[in-house]
Amino acid sequence: MARRLRVSWKSAYQWHQMWKEAGAAALVSRGPGGQRNKLSPYCLNKLAEYLDQGPAAHGWVEDQTWTAARVATLIGQKFHVSYRVSGATRLMHRLGFSPQMPVRRVAERDEQAVERGRRRPGRR
């Protein structure tokens, strides 16, 4: 039966035990697992508006990149809710945004040498 349902033997065994002990009612779905969303639908819409405004509108003027860390900070500032960076990443994807890495350049970087390397013949 486990193979037919494409589940592990352990899951099939647990379901069978639940059914034997409490009947079919014990097998009713409890909904999706995991933690519930900390933001209401209204707050999610507001967050999407804030993200559309861009980072500069919220104090990040160095570049116009939404990083997951910035979004987690923005959520904390605007909604007084704590999100980890990984949770902010999932939330951004859910809203149709993608987190991007901030542009970090080495202070000693030689821009002219980099440009010469890009223009070198035979280089793709």
26-36: burial string, b at 16+ Cβ within 10 Å, e else: eeeeeeeeeee
> 124 exposed, middle or buried (CB, 10 Å; 0-12, 13-18, 19+)?
exposed
**Most confident option among 5-14, 97-106, 108-117:** 5-14
CA distance 88 to 74: 10
Q: Domain residue spans in the chain?
A: 41-94
| SS3 state at 82 | coil
CA distance 99 to 53: 15
pLDDT tens, residue by residue, 21-80:
999 999 998 877 777 788 999 999 999 999 999 999 999 988 888 999 999 999 999 999
CA distance 61 to 42: 27
Q: Is the pLDDT of residue 103 over 60?
A: no
Beta-carbon neighbour count of residue 72 at 10 Å?
22
Task: Report residue 48 as tokens.
Answer: 């999407």
pLDDT band per the 50, 70, 90 thresholds, residue 119: confident
